[in-house]
Structure 1
Amino acid sequence: MNVTYKWLKEFVDFDLDGDQLSHQLTMAGLEVDYMEHLGAGLDSVIVAQLDRVEAHPDADKLTMCQVNTGTEVIPVVCGAKNHKQGDLIALAQVGTILPGDFKIKKSKIRGAVSQGMLCSEKELGLAEESEGILILPQGLALGTPVFDALGLKDIRYEIGLTPNRADCLSVAGVAREVAAMVGKTMTLPEVAPVDEAAEEIEKLTSVTIEDADGCPRYMARLIQGVKIGPSPGWLVRRLESVGQRSINNVVDVTNYLLMELGHPLHAFDFGSLRGQRIIVKRAADGESFVTLDGQTRTLQGSDMVICDAEGSVALAGVMGGENSEVEDDTVDVLLESAYFDPISIRRTSKRLGIHSEASHRFERGADIDIVPVALERATALIQQLAGGRVAKGVIDTYPKTLEKRTVAITVNKTNRLLGLDLTLQQIDTLLRSIELETTALAGDEEGLQVVIPMSRHDLEREVDLIEEVARLNGYDNIPVTMPASRVVHRRKETQQSFVTQLRDAMVAQGAREIINYSFVSPTSWDKIQLKQDDLRRTNVRVLNPLTEEQSVMRTSLVPGMLEVVSRNLAYRSDDLRLFELRPVFNVVADQDQPCEVVNLCAILTGRRELEGWSQQDDTVDFFDLKGLVEVVAQQLNLSSLQVEADACQSYLHPGKSCRIYSGKKLIGVMGEVHPVVQDAYDINQPVFLVELDVPAMIAGRAQAATFQPISRFPDVYRDSAILIDDEVSADQVLKGIGSVKVKNLDDVVLFDLYSGKGIPEGKKSLAFRVRYRSTEKTLTDDEINKMHAKIVKSLEKNLGAELR
């Protein structure tokens, strides 16, 4: 919102200078983003008179002027044609720097000396466009700076308003705040009386509102016999000072009132209205309409439109129509002043992508009580500037009366929230300074009943009024106090600590963490071949998804992980060691909300070692992944891990995958990604994946390990090779050894697997090494032999093993 210092002074008398006013506005919540001194640095542009104007001898489009500055007569070459001898003009003297960093120098133009420049309004920054030089009114003293002579020196403030302060989208609204700052009263401009004709407006036109919710109030005035033309200089300059462009005298009045009072008005060419009447209603669904900017818009049934007897002529509260625009040949004008529902205007403006000055105000909430004031002032100004006869009376269709809100505010709560000690009288004075009506609150509690004006849509609750008290009293006056608090030591929950340890363990193994969106596409499950009738994988749909590709909550980290792998491989990043430790969302029967469970998903693919001088061309395999899981499990003190072949997951290779158990607790699956799934993601190299359930891992965690000192007695090894059936796994052998009750068994390592020559068909040879050590004494050969024989005998009995 742009306002100027002088325009504010017309509403309220204050003594603040430009910088003080900027500071006060900002501290009152109306932040001044930019302050510009209009006419600053242009005192060398002075009022001068053309004593003589002659054609340039060597250029048809140039004139040679003798310019009287009041102290001397100087020659100036000019390219404009709208001047004549005796005119007062704006002379930029040599050395002047005009807007745009254009410096005036003494020069020769086609052989003629020129000691200055005759300026146009555009060159002085007073207008966006101008056809010739600025011709000044007669009677100004020669040599006087132009901006001083015309009273154009001013300060423009660009205020960055928050969306809730629609009441300050006008000079009057800002002036109301200034009046509260300086303790003065704001005065609205007087509305000049309108010279009405004898014929009544009801006999010439009518207004019908078919949707009172969308348009609670609509007023109209009819002005006949106007003469469309350029606006007077004062109006043009006033509009330009706040960034508005002059169009013609009628439209400029509506724009002027828009900036002055903050209420949008619209002028219709009455001769273009078919049936000479107005109907306010909802648009027909699919209706096409051409707005003032020449764009064809497709409307919906929720859009409010202004119609004549045959069709739409304006988008209510947003933009007028091309078919009813005020043109140079317009004779009769129907002037509209109305109030439209903010929600309806906001929806239409956003859907059609139209952001106009009118929609900006209506969608934030206009003032329904200012509707007649704006209409009368605009009518008087149009008659003053464009002439014409105003039909007798005014049409005021008000089918849905909007009542003012009343909100209570108490002294106790105000002081408690602000940390102040204000009295009831002080609060009352502050609220009345912004034109709020107050009465004493009935009852024992000290407070006020406040009537909220229709311009303040942001004041709905007591805290809103308390905020106004704080703002008006001055934020600087709120004491600085440190909040009372207690230092509370809170220990992390078990899962929080475990997740932190798990993340650290994965990073220690050289894995990089990734983070994907929790929203995925419904087709993600098809790509990893999950069955939709699996209850745990049933889609948890998002009620308001951003896109269809993010319309369901993920129930597995696998799709997102494989997408990341595919994207990295496409960029030739082939050696990956990644993990994601994030929640998934599983459907729970008979519950509205899904169950949120933290999962870990990790992948290995590519080379085992980084590329280098001595690096071997080995790629990772299943056992690299298994080793990573075992190391991480050991660091997290999980119970001894056990695996069972075939993970029973459609996205893993059935012959190269397994289920992972911690004790008897299933904690996850791992293996090579199924070739069909790899093809679905355009992955052309083996990928090994593990997916772990974090709560299950916590449940399978062993008791904290206790420290045991290293034995000072020597250890002894015994190596044995056994023949065993192919169907018996090495894991069964190791479990069998561990199940034998041998007191001093310290460690078991399987170090060889052999089958082939010398080994019967259907058999294999496994060699294992057992370490024995006592913490109390040095073991004898006899003791060790007895313990080892016990182990071999158990394997022979339980697994059918034969000692080689």
Structure 2
Amino acid sequence: MIVTYNWLKEFVDCDLAPEELSHLLTMLGLEVERMETIGGGMDDVVVAQVLERNQHPNADKLSLCKVDSGKEILSIVCGAQNFKAGDKVALAQIGATLPGDFKIKRSKIRGEESFGMLCSERELALSDESSGIMILPEDFQVGTPLFDALGTKDTVFEIGLTPNRADCLSVVGVAREIAAKLGKKVHYPGHEVQEKGAAIETIASVAINAPDLCPRYTARHITGCKLAPSPAWMVERLNAAGIRSINNIVDVTNYVLLEYGHPLHAFDFKLVAGGKIVVAAAGEGETFTTLDGQERKLTASDLTIRDGEKAVALAGIMGGGNSEIGDGTTEVLLESAYFNPSAVRKTSKRLGIHTESSHRFERGTDVAGLVRALDRAAQLIAELSGGVVAKGMIDAYPQPIEPRVITARLSRINLVCGLSLSAAAVKDIFERLEFEIIEEKDDVFKVRVPLFRVDLEREIDLVEEVVRLNGFEKVQATLPTASVFSDLPSDEQRLTSRIKDLLVSQGFSEVINYSFVAPASCEKVLLPEDDFRVKGVKLLNPLSDELSVMRTTLLPGLLDTAVKNISFRTLNLRIFEMRRVYLPVPEQDLLDEPLYVGALLTGNREAEGWNQAKGEIDFFDVKGILENLLADLNVPGVSYSTDNLDPYFHPGKACQVKIGNRVLGSLGELHPTVQENYGIATPVYYLELNFQALVNARKPKGSAQVPSRFPSTFRDIAMLLPLEVAAEEVVRCVKGVKAPELEGVEIFDLYTGGNIPQGQKSLAIRVRYGSKERTLTDDEVTRLHQRVVDGLQKKLNVSFR
């Protein structure tokens, strides 16, 4: 919000210097972000009088003038043609700095010396346009600084308001705060409207078809208007606030908006069909062209102002080009209304329109003060355009809004403030803020809050008002009391950190993606329509269409991250995410939110280098990463199955991770179609684990075992078996021989093709035998080894090579 020092002083008697006033506003919670002096540092621009104007001897379009600066007679070269000898003009003397950091120096122009510059309004930033130098009134005294003579020297304050302080989006609102702090009264501008025309009811009518979106609508009619430029004082104040002057009628609506903080709109009444105003929702798909020339497509949730035939304005946002004030306007219908903040905010956001009007309506305006703003604007329009105001006004107010009544306890105020204020002091603060005390009993106040304070809803809000007006600086600093205790992480928290550390130690980087995904993400990872994960929860107010559904799997987010990295030529990726997914539960409102670990790999196994073998990541790299993780977490008894794989995995290159019938997760290469959907050319591998299943599968770590002092013996077995028999079954069969001397088994060779019969594979295992009590004899090992061989032949029907 931008206000000026002189404008504020019209509403409140304040003898504070601008710097002191800036500090006062900031301490009231209205932080002054910028303070600028209009005409400051320009005292070298003075009122001067042209004594002589002669033709420049060396230039046809230049004049050589003798100018009285009040101190001396100066020779000035000037190119303007709109002045004569005897005129009083604005002279920028040598050393002056004009707006735009333009410094005036002694110069020689076409052979003649010039000791200053005669200025135009544009060069002094007093106007956007000028046709020549500035001609001043004859009664101005020569030698007086120009801005002192004009009375336009002022200070501009730019206040950074928090969204809840809608009441201070006006000069009156800021003045009201100053008056409350200084204990003074606000001088509201006079607005006695001279009504001379016919009764307004015979001219126009107003109907509100959506009272929930527009509780109140008022209007006045002015005829006999004549469009003209606005007076200088109004233009200067609008310019100071960053608003461009248009004409005397439109400028009045902007001026009163700044003054009272209540938006108004002026219609060319001749363009309002039937003289009717109807406040109603737009038709679904209706198009409407706003004042900026843009055609807008409306929905049934958009509130419009309509005449007897069509929409003429977007309520609270912008008027329409079909009813705007133009050169031929002579009759004006002036609107002052209150619109529902959420309705204005919704339409403004959807259409991407932000105006001074919508900015205020979105935050809440004063429904009780809109008549005052209407009368003020009607009075000014009549004065500046020569118009006549019709008798009476239309005030459609079907459901009056009552002010809030809030109870405040003195004990609570002092407890929160850390002060010892008396009831009289608190009462005085409330009255200075224009609050009405309707009851005071046992140091408990019942306060009726004025409607312009839309931000006050609870007792704590009144406590804040007391602190603000009493002075934040009077609140003593105290140290809070707190109990110190140790909050050790839970087992699950430690396990979470441990899993992340293990993955990072194997070259992974953690990523954190949004919990929201695009609706098409499930389709891109090939989940069928009947999969429960496709029915993700949709957000009511999404950030965008691409982030509108709660994720049911980590895979789409990791793939999106991989695509972004690959686009920046980071081709060797190991990334993981440990986050929750949001799964719908049939016939329940609450979601299941399990924690999952998702890891994605693509590219080469090692970074490229002369001393590294080049090879792409494969299935066994991912399986090895999983085995390291399970071993560290002490999750024994894991098996792998190719049943019930998710459709986003490559058939034959993926598996489930299980303990008994419980599924821990899955791993493998992603389906080529998934990779194609994401535009990834190289194979991508994915590992997914259910965190809670890992927690449940962990076993307590036992004590360390002392290694045997006696040597072990190794026996190898090479066998032929059908391709469909998993190597894991062979290992399980060997371990099924219950003997303490059987210390371990491992697979060291797998071969197919060549001389191996079709449909079979060659598998070689190495069995380790040993004892902690003695060295086993050859006969003992042979007998035990024969039991292993017999078991394999009997259970798996293998043949030995």
- Please say whether Structure 1 and Structure 2 have the same fold, judged by a TM-score greater than 0.5: yes
Letter in 1 for 2:713: Y
Aligned counterparts of 2:656 and 2:390: Cα–Cα separation in 1: 90
Candidates 494, 499, 510, aligned match of 2:507: 510
Aligned counterparts of 2:375 and 2:362: Cα–Cα separation in 1: 23
| 1:222 Cα offset (Å) | 3.9
- Find the residue that maps to 2:614 and give its secondary structure: coil
Write out per-residue CA displacement over residues 258-313 of structure 1, whole angstroms, 9 at most, x where no aligned residue: 22222233344445555555554444555544443344444445444444555444
Worse-matched range after superposition: 624-633 or 273-282: 273-282
- How has the CA–CA distance of structure 1 residues 139 and 493 changed in structure 2, closer, same or farther, with 3 Å as cutoff? same
**Matched residue, 1:418:** 417
Letter in 2 for 1:254: T
| 1:326 Cα offset (Å) | 3.7
- How has the CA–CA distance of structure 1 residues 785 and 568 changed in structure 2, closer, same or farther, with 3 Å as cutoff? farther
Aligned counterparts of 1:28 and 1:215: Cα–Cα separation in 2: 32
**Matched residue, 1:718:** 714
**Matched residue, 1:770:** 768
| 1:648 Cα offset (Å) | 3.6
| 1:696 Cα offset (Å) | 1.5
Aligned counterparts of 2:108 and 2:533: Cα–Cα separation in 1: 88
Candidates 523, 528, 533, aligned match of 1:531: 528
- How has the CA–CA distance of structure 1 residues 693 and 11 changed in structure 2, closer, same or farther, with 3 Å as cutoff? same
Write out per-residue CA displacement over residues 155-175 of structure 1, whole angstroms, 9 at most, x where no aligned residue: 110011122211111111101
- How has the CA–CA distance of structure 1 residues 59 and 269 changed in structure 2, closer, same or farther, with 3 Å as cutoff? farther
**Matched residue, 1:367:** 366
1:429 aligns with 2:423: no
| 1:102 Cα offset (Å) | 0.5
Worse-matched range after superposition: 744-753 or 453-462: 744-753
- Find the residue that maps to 2:576 and give its secondary structure: strand
Contact 2:50–2:85 (Cα < 8 Å) also in 1: yes
1:697 aligns with 2:694: yes
Aligned counterparts of 2:256 and 2:287: Cα–Cα separation in 1: 30
Contact 1:721–1:766 (Cα < 8 Å) also in 2: yes
1:587 aligns with 2:584: yes
- How has the CA–CA distance of structure 1 residues 606 and 368 changed in structure 2, closer, same or farther, with 3 Å as cutoff? closer
Aligned counterparts of 1:429 and 1:799: Cα–Cα separation in 2: 100
**Matched residue, 1:72:** 72
- Counterpart mapping for 1:186-585 below 5 A: 186-191=186-191, 194-197=193-196, 199-202=197-200, 205-211=203-209, 212-276=211-275, 278-441=277-440, 446-535=443-532, 538-565=535-562, 568=565, 573-585=570-582
Contact 1:637–1:705 (Cα < 8 Å) also in 2: no
Contact 2:181–2:469 (Cα < 8 Å) also in 1: yes
Across the aligned residues of Structure 1 and Structure 2, the Cα RMSD in angstroms comes to 3.3
- Counterpart mapping for 1:703-782 below 5 A: 703-711=700-708, 713-721=709-717, 723=719, 725-726=721-722, 730-752=727-749, 764=762, 766-774=764-772, 777=773, 779-782=774-777
Worse-matched range after superposition: 585-594 or 792-801: 792-801
Structure 2: state its 5+ residue gaps. Answer: none
- Counterpart mapping for 1:149-188 below 5 A: 149-188=149-188
Write out per-residue CA displacement over residues 712-747 of structure 1, whole angstroms, 9 at most, x where no aligned residue: x24232334365645765434433443444345544
Aligned counterparts of 1:474 and 1:94: Cα–Cα separation in 2: 47
Aligned counterparts of 2:318 and 2:674: Cα–Cα separation in 1: 55
- Find the residue that maps to 2:593 and give its secondary structure: strand
Write out per-residue CA displacement over residues 517-560 of structure 1, whole angstroms, 9 at most, x where no aligned residue: 33334444444443333446654444444455444433333344
**Matched residue, 2:93:** 93
- How has the CA–CA distance of structure 1 residues 593 and 723 changed in structure 2, closer, same or farther, with 3 Å as cutoff? same
Aligned counterparts of 2:394 and 2:750: Cα–Cα separation in 1: 102
- Find the residue that maps to 1:607 and give its secondary structure: coil
| 1:791 Cα offset (Å) | 4.2
Contact 2:80–2:133 (Cα < 8 Å) also in 1: yes
- Counterpart mapping for 1:638-677 below 5 A: 638-645=635-642, 648-662=645-659, 665-677=662-674
Aligned length: 795
- How has the CA–CA distance of structure 1 residues 451 and 132 changed in structure 2, closer, same or farther, with 3 Å as cutoff? farther
- Find the residue that maps to 1:369 and give its secondary structure: coil
**Matched residue, 2:594:** 597
1:786 aligns with 2:780: yes
- How has the CA–CA distance of structure 1 residues 74 and 494 changed in structure 2, closer, same or farther, with 3 Å as cutoff? same
Worse-matched range after superposition: 8-17 or 92-101: 8-17
| 1:100 Cα offset (Å) | 0.4
Contact 1:647–1:671 (Cα < 8 Å) also in 2: no
- Find the residue that maps to 2:123 and give its secondary structure: coil
Contact 1:748–1:771 (Cα < 8 Å) also in 2: no
**Matched residue, 1:20:** 20
| 1:461 Cα offset (Å) | 1.8
Write out per-residue CA displacement over residues 79-112 of structure 1, whole angstroms, 9 at most, x where no aligned residue: 3333233222111011111110101122233344
Letter in 1 for 2:174: V
Write out per-residue CA displacement over residues 761-802 of structure 1, whole angstroms, 9 at most, x where no aligned residue: 97857352415242xx5x2444x7425523432441464478
Aligned counterparts of 2:738 and 2:560: Cα–Cα separation in 1: 50
Aligned counterparts of 1:514 and 1:394: Cα–Cα separation in 2: 63
Worse-matched range after superposition: 139-148 or 284-293: 284-293
- Find the residue that maps to 2:655 and give its secondary structure: strand
Aligned counterparts of 1:499 and 1:415: Cα–Cα separation in 2: 46
Aligned counterparts of 2:368 and 2:147: Cα–Cα separation in 1: 38
Worse-matched range after superposition: 169-178 or 230-239: 230-239
Letter in 2 for 1:479: Q
Contact 2:619–2:668 (Cα < 8 Å) also in 1: yes
| 1:562 Cα offset (Å) | 4.3
Contact 1:495–1:698 (Cα < 8 Å) also in 2: yes
- Find the residue that maps to 1:148 and give its secondary structure: helix
Aligned counterparts of 2:121 and 2:183: Cα–Cα separation in 1: 38
Contact 1:576–1:605 (Cα < 8 Å) also in 2: yes
How does the TM-score come out when normalised to structure 2? 0.90
Contact 1:662–1:697 (Cα < 8 Å) also in 2: no
- Find the residue that maps to 2:81 and give its secondary structure: coil
Worse-matched range after superposition: 586-595 or 14-23: 586-595
**Matched residue, 2:8:** 8
Worse-matched range after superposition: 108-117 or 266-275: 266-275
Letter in 2 for 1:372: V
- Find the residue that maps to 1:244 and give its secondary structure: coil
Letter in 2 for 1:31: E
**Matched residue, 1:796:** 790
Worse-matched range after superposition: 428-437 or 760-769: 760-769
Identical residues among aligned pairs (%): 47
- Find the residue that maps to 1:596 and give its secondary structure: coil
Aligned counterparts of 2:225 and 2:586: Cα–Cα separation in 1: 74
Aligned counterparts of 2:281 and 2:642: Cα–Cα separation in 1: 68
Letter in 1 for 2:253: T
- Find the residue that maps to 2:495 and give its secondary structure: helix
- Find the residue that maps to 2:714 and give its secondary structure: strand
Worse-matched range after superposition: 645-654 or 95-104: 645-654
Contact 1:239–1:246 (Cα < 8 Å) also in 2: yes
Contact 2:598–2:686 (Cα < 8 Å) also in 1: yes
**Matched residue, 2:81:** 81
How does the TM-score come out when normalised to structure 1? 0.90
Contact 2:714–2:768 (Cα < 8 Å) also in 1: yes
Letter in 1 for 2:587: D
Aligned counterparts of 1:333 and 1:645: Cα–Cα separation in 2: 79
Write out per-residue CA displacement over residues 210-256 of structure 1, whole angstroms, 9 at most, x where no aligned residue: 33444444444444444433333333323333333333333333332
Letter in 1 for 2:67: V
- Find the residue that maps to 1:24 and give its secondary structure: helix
Contact 1:46–1:91 (Cα < 8 Å) also in 2: yes
Aligned counterparts of 1:73 and 1:749: Cα–Cα separation in 2: 110
Aligned counterparts of 2:558 and 2:538: Cα–Cα separation in 1: 20
